[in-house]
């Protein structure tokens, strides 16, 4: 997902940006690819990371939940042959596609592809009018279903947590009132209402609807839960010495990755709950700096990189730890099943 200099994702509303792999050199340095290794790219997108790993002689298992991303990459199989496996799947299920001996690396770029943003019919952007959809895989409830069916209190919590929108309650109540006259069907329709409720000020750098669109996209695609389960899956799928490298684009994602690695790294000193002697051994050890951001040169050349953060760890031979979602303090929001009616 593209982000502005302030770290706020605005991929839901931003205009076309040519896809460029973010922090590619840093990702390769953290992965240390070598010929014959088996890598998994859990967020294939336009294939930037996969192509670089293949060029280094690796075999790549490439996942993407978007069928269009997979279909659009068939030509790569002509170049790389059976060293590239393209699979339509959620990255939370990545352990199902790992070889029995384990993976040498898992690479995750947690963002919406600029190709998705550019397609008006996908409904991610309000810069181009289109159906209020936002589904990456094309199944399940749409963003229109969410704004037309959920109560204002639920909408306010979604906008407040996933979008960090200060006017969440006000916008949610306006949505609930307006939909009595006509349901929301298009991106421009929703964006126009939000702009009326919270007019754009001259000093504002982003459109008033940006945070709401981000929140809806994250909720519709269950992005934070998917990320959490993908981290747990990576722990199961990596062999000892395998690398997990994750690039995030806003604070909600980065916080999850940071907490995961902090919990999995060297466990010393104990806590009020568990003395040091009873703590399970670390399942990961740090790779490089705790966090790597894009250089000024890259951020200038590629606006998408401005808020990107890379974190990485190396799998130890310790047993897999518990996949406990409470580690991430995710909010108790209405499940998508509630939206189905």
Check whether residue 100 and residue 167 sit in a common domain. no
Check whether residue 295 and residue 280 sit in a common domain. yes
Q: How many CB atoms lie within 10 A of CB 248?
A: 26
Q: Is residue 93 part of a domain?
A: yes
In sign, the C-alpha dihedral spanning 154, 158, 161, 166 is negative
CA angle 95–228–326, rounded 5-degree value = 125
Residue 276 banded pLDDT, cuts 50, 70, 90: low
Domain that holds residue 178: 130-219
pLDDT tens, position by position, 85-106: 999 999 999 999 999 999 999 9
Closest CA to 330 of 222, 187, 214, 179: 222
Residue 296 banded pLDDT, cuts 50, 70, 90: very high
Q: Which residues contact 327 (CB under 8 A, 6 or more apart)?
A: 228, 259, 260, 263
Domain boundary among 173, 196, 219: 219
Q: Is 49 annotated as a binding residue?
A: yes
Q: Is 66 annotated as a binding residue?
A: no
Task: Please report, rounded to a whole number, the percentage of residues in the chain having pLDDT higher than 70.
Answer: 85
Domain boundary among 219, 250, 283: 219
Run of H or E including 123? none
Check whether residue 106 and residue 156 sit in a common domain. no
CB 45 within 8 A of CB 69: yes
Q: Is 324 annotated as a binding residue?
A: no
CATH number of the domain at 146, please.
Answer: 1.10.150.170
Check whether residue 282 and residue 134 sit in a common domain. no
**Which pTM was predicted?**
0.87
Closest CA to 315 of 226, 245, 224: 245
Domain boundary among 219, 243, 275: 219
Residue 273 banded pLDDT, cuts 50, 70, 90: low
Q: Is 262 annotated as a binding residue?
A: no
Closest CA to 198 of 150, 166, 242, 244: 166
Q: How many domains does the chain have?
A: 2
CATH number of the domain at 39, please.
Answer: 3.40.50.150
> CA 143 → CA 47, 65, 135, 296, 306, distances in Å?
27, 17, 8, 35, 27
Q: Is residue 3 part of a domain?
A: no
Check whether residue 229 and residue 102 sit in a common domain. yes
Q: Is 317 annotated as a binding residue?
A: no
Q: Is residue 13 part of a domain?
A: no
| pLDDT at res. 125 | 58
Q: Across the strands, what pairs with 93?
A: none
Q: Is residue 91 part of a domain?
A: yes
Residue 338 banded pLDDT, cuts 50, 70, 90: confident
Identify the weakest region by mean pLDDT among 106-110, 116-120, 147-151, 305-309: 116-120
């Amino acid at each position: 997902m593209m982000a502005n200099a302030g770290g706020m994702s605005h991929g839901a509303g931003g205009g076309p940006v040519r896809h460029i792999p973010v922090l590619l050199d840093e990702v390769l340095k953290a992965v240390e690819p070598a010929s014959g290794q088996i890598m998994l790219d859990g967020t294939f997108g336009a294939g930037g990371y996969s192509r670089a790993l293949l060029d280094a002689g690796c075999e790549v298992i490439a996942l993407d939940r978007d069928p269009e991303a997979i279909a659009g990459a068939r030509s790569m199989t002509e170049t790389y042959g059976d060293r590239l496996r393209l699979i339509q799947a959620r990255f939370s299920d990545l352990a199902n596609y790992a070889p029995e001996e384990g993976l040498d690396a898992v690479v995750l770029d947690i963002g919406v592809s600029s190709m998705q943003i550019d397609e008006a019919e996908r409904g991610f952007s309000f810069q181009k009018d289109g159906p209020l959809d936002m589904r990456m895989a094309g199944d399940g409830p749409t963003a229109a279903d969410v704004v037309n069916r959920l109560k204002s209190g639920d909408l306010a919590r979604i906008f407040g947590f996933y979008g960090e929108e200060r006017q969440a309650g006000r916008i949610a109540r306006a949505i609930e009132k307006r939909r009595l006259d006509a349901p929301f069907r298009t991106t421009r329709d929703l964006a126009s209402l939000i702009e009326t409720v919270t007019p754009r000020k001259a000093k504002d750098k982003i459109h008033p609807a940006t945070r709401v669109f981000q929140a809806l996209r994250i909720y519709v695609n269950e992005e934070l839960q998917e990320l959490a389960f993908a981290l747990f899956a990576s722990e199961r799928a990596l062999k000892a010495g395998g690398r997990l490298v994750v690039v995030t684009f806003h604070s909600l994602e980065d916080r999850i990755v940071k907490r995961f690695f902090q919990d999995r790294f060297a466990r010393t000193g104990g806590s009020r709950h568990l003395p040091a002697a009873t703590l399970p051994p670390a399942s990961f050890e740090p790779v490089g700096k705790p966090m790597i951001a894009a250089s000024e040169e890259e951020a200038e050349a590629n606006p998408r990189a401005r808020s990107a953060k890379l974190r990485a760890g190396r799998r130890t031979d310790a047993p897999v730890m518990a996949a406990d979602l409470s580690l991430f303090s995710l909010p108790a929001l209405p499940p998508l099943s509630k939206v189905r009616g």
